[in-house]
Amino acid sequence: MKYGSLIFEKKDYVETKRLLYFGKYYEDYAHKHSLDRLKENLDMALVCDEVDMPDDVVRLHSKVALLSNTGWNRTVELVTPSEYGMEGDQISVFSALGSSIIGLAKGDAVPHGFPLGIDSLKIVGVEQAIFSSNP
């Protein structure tokens, strides 16, 4: 890991914990495994205030460019389960990939299962969402 630990911004940490509390009733194995991984990641992560967050760490609403060893590439936006499906190229933080990449940084890699086997996905870019505040 680039920074030696997963890093969560404080608001994302609280929101993800809240989502996990309400998502604890998922019954299928795939979701349970992803939720367990996410809970473990939260338990060991470093939590930072927004002003202290490195710009290249994957957060909720980050756009993340991924590249596999075989040349597959894709840019996805990491969203909450309730936001998933509202726009194209989104992945839920509850998905296997989403729960694996949140808290990682540009340059980090994670194993990911594809139909033909497991490959390593490298995070080659992270773009943070810009939210406008209402006056």
Which pLDDT tens digit goes with each residue over 2-33? 999 999 999 999 999 998 887 655 555 667 77
Residue type, 21: Y
pLDDT per residue over 70-120, tens digit each? Answer: 888 999 999 998 888 777 899 999 888 999 999 999 999 998 876 667 788
The confidence band for 50, taking pLDDT boundaries of 50, 70 and 90, is very high
pLDDT of residue 134: 47
CATH hierarchy code of domain 7-127 = 3.10.50.30
Residue 42: HSE in the Cβ half-sphere, 13 Å Cα cutoff: 21
pTM of the model: 0.88
Sequence spans of domains, the chain: 7-127
